[in-house]
């Protein structure tokens, strides 16, 4: 394992890096998690995608380290981390997904977080905790439905559509979607609302 980790850190070309990350990912070993997260900051998109897929496969065991190691300075690394956290769907990510959805300067990162908010595995929380968490996600998604960036509103609809599978919040979601269908100025957003309402 040490040799595979070392191969990632000493890779001299982008191709060597990708090969080393693929070899490390193939082990599916939790001890690879810190190195896989570090790959997000190496400015190698192909290696970043491989690392993200490997961490997503490892699942909830990777979540604490992903949350601890989010890079506030490197936009690319942060984007991979948020997308990976969203894909794993662990409800422990709720706080970071909410704050990212609301405040991140990068629209693509905000979109990934918004979509992730709708897909969290609420059943992993007890009933009272899950209701509080679901309501916080709902409040955040409803708020960004008013965002000036149409792509953020679009992502909010994707998140709301997923969240609508939870019975306790269906009525405010459908009310909001109906309002957006009438009032939103962006054709792509209205089309996405129609798709959500048809589900």
- pLDDT for 16-25, tens place per residue? 999 999 999 9
Mean pLDDT of 145-164: 97
Mean pLDDT over the full length of the chain: 94
Mean pLDDT of 38-66: 96
| pLDDT value of position 76 | 86
Question: Which residues are CB-neighbours of 9 under 8 A, at least 6 positions away?
Answer: 35
Q: Where are the alpha helices (DSSP H) in 59-163?
A: 63-68, 75-88, 94-103, 107-118, 127-144, 150-163
Tally DSSP H helices, then E strands, for the chain: 12, 0
**Pairwise CA distance, residues 177 & 174, whole Å:** 5
Which is higher by pLDDT, 94 or 199?
94
For residues 141 and 120, is the Cβ–Cβ distance under 8 A? no
**Banded pLDDT at 72 (limits 50, 70, 90):** confident
Mean pLDDT of 188-197: 96
| pLDDT value of position 111 | 94
Angle at 134 between CA 128 and CA 137, to 5 degrees: 145
**Angle between helices 75-88 and 107-118 in degrees, nearest 10:** 10
Local structure of residue 126 (DSSP, 8 states): -
**Banded pLDDT at 86 (limits 50, 70, 90):** very high
pTM: 0.90
| pLDDT value of position 169 | 85
Least confident of 107-116, 145-154, 160-169: 160-169
Task: Provide the 10 A C-beta neighbour count for residue 183.
Answer: 8
N-to-C CA span, the chain: 46
Any idea which residue has 């982008």 for tokens? Answer: 14
């Amino acid at each position: 394992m040490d040799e595979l980790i070392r191969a990632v850190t000493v890779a001299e070309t982008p191709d060597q890096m990708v090969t080393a990350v693929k070899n490390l990912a193939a082990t599916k070993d939790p001890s690879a998690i810190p190195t896989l997260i570090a790959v997000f900051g190496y400015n190698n998109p192909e290696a970043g995608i491989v690392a993200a897929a490997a961490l997503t496969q490892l699942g909830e065991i990777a979540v604490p380290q992903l949350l601890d190691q989010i890079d506030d300075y490197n936009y690319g690394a942060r984007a991979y981390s948020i997308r990976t956290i969203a894909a794993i769907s662990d409800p422990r990510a709720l706080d970071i997904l909410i704050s990212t959805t609301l405040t991140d300067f990068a629209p693509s990162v905000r979109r990934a977080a918004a979509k992730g908010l709708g897909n969290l595995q609420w059943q992993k929380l007890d009933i009272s905790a899950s209701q509080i968490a679901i309501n916080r996600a709902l409040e955040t998604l409803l708020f960004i439905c008013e965002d000036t960036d149409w792509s953020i509103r679009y992502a909010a609809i994707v998140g709301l559509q997923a969240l609508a599978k939870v019975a306790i919040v269906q009525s405010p979601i459908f009310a909001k979607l109906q309002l957006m269908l009438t009032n939103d100025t962006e054709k792509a957003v209205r089309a996405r609302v129609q798709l959500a309402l048809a589900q």
